[in-house]
Amino acid sequence: MKSPARSGAYAKTRVFVYARAAPVLSVVCGNKRPRARVWAAEVCHPSLARKRARPGKDKASGRFWNRYSSPHLPPYAIVYFPVRGRCQAMRMLLADQGQSWKEEVVTMETWLQGPLKASCLYGQLPKFQDGDLTLYQSNAILRHLGRSFGLYGKDQREAALVDMVNDGVEDLRSKYITLIYTNYETGKEKYVKELPGHLKPFETLLAQNQGGQAFIVGNQISFADYNLLDLLLNHQVLAPGCLDSFPLLLAYVARLSARPKLKAFLASPEHVNLPINGNGKQ
Ligand SMILES: N[C@@H](CCC(=O)N[C@@H](CS)C(=O)NCC(=O)O)C(=O)O
């Protein structure tokens, strides 16, 4: 079968392979959007590359690796704009869990043409593929990854707390997005003034869990930790020093960011060179 790239269907498709170990992919787009200006990138940071000689059960993650999930064709694909935005938490989660994934980067020009937007369930991105499972809604994607990798607390009680934290993160993220995209110039001062009140609940949660020396819930990392970490990192850019009066949160950010795979991802060009938001404000 002729590959889409070769047939010219994806004139603007490009493949980036960052991994030392990963072989070049010949086909990266499995969708059918003629002339879509989709740039595809295989993100497989050297530090994240894993050697899986043949399909089977991966001991580290417990996931079954099949033809969709070999190092040659990762099972995960993120379709999103060229920003960190609502995808950086899931990228951090995947990186920290030693996963590789494919990026389909959608330019605003492509998006405004309409067909891709029309094809998305809620008319928005991100879109996420896990093999043949297609998901929309960033928090649903995080929860799915949480269930896939055991990042959802150790029991039902912890799972409920993880949900509670993640909903709190979403509330603050929504406020942040509104500020960034609707009233950055006129609203920033007020936003920064009110920020401590929005950060305090997370400091309280940390204090209640092993004196703040562990994760946001329990003894193991959860998808809410990645979401909270992303949000806190963004706020440290918006308002440097905003965590200075929250010693537990400050230490938490430093501790999570120092996890070896996460540290490598946060230092990688794939993270560093990607703007936080789509309008240049941060
Ligand atoms: N609740 C959705 C919100 C998604 C969303 O707001 N997507 C924005 C980009 S971050 C988008 O697609 N904007 C373009 C549009 O609405 O046309 C989620 O969490 O995934």
Q: What is the set of domains in the chain, with CATH numbers?
A: 10-149 (3.40.30.10), 156-266 (1.20.1050.10)
The structure tokens 């009066």 sit at 245
* Least trusted range by pLDDT, from 45-54, 107-116, 248-257: 45-54
Residue 44's pLDDT is 35
pLDDT digits (tens, 9 = 90+) for 136-151: 999 999 999 999 999 9
Checking if the pLDDT of 135 tops 70, the result is yes
Out of 124, 127, 230, mutate this one to test ligand 1's pocket (max ligand atoms within 8 Å of CB): namely: 124
Q: Measuring CA to CA, which residue among 151, 262, 173 is closest to residue 217?
A: 151
Model pTM score: 0.80
Residue 106 Cβ contacting ligand 1 at under 6 Å: no
Cis ω before 4 (30° cut-off from 0) = no
In single-letter form, the type of residue at position 125 comes to: L
Residue 87 Cβ contacting ligand 1 at under 6 Å: no
The Cα 166–Cα 171 span in angstroms is 9
Residue 134 Cβ contacting ligand 1 at under 6 Å: no
Which residues have C-beta within 8 Å of that of residue 277, sequence separation ≥ 6? 83, 84, 85, 180, 181
pLDDT over 70, % of the chain: 74
Checking if the pLDDT of 172 tops 70, the result is yes
Residues 215, 225 contacting (CB under 8 angstroms): yes
pLDDT digits (tens, 9 = 90+) for 22-77: 222 222 222 223 222 233 333 333 333 333 334 455 555 454 444 334 445 679 99
> Can you read off the two tokens belonging to residue 172?
């603050």
Which residues have C-beta within 8 Å of that of residue 249, sequence separation ≥ 6? 199, 202, 203, 206, 232, 243
Residue 56's pLDDT is 53
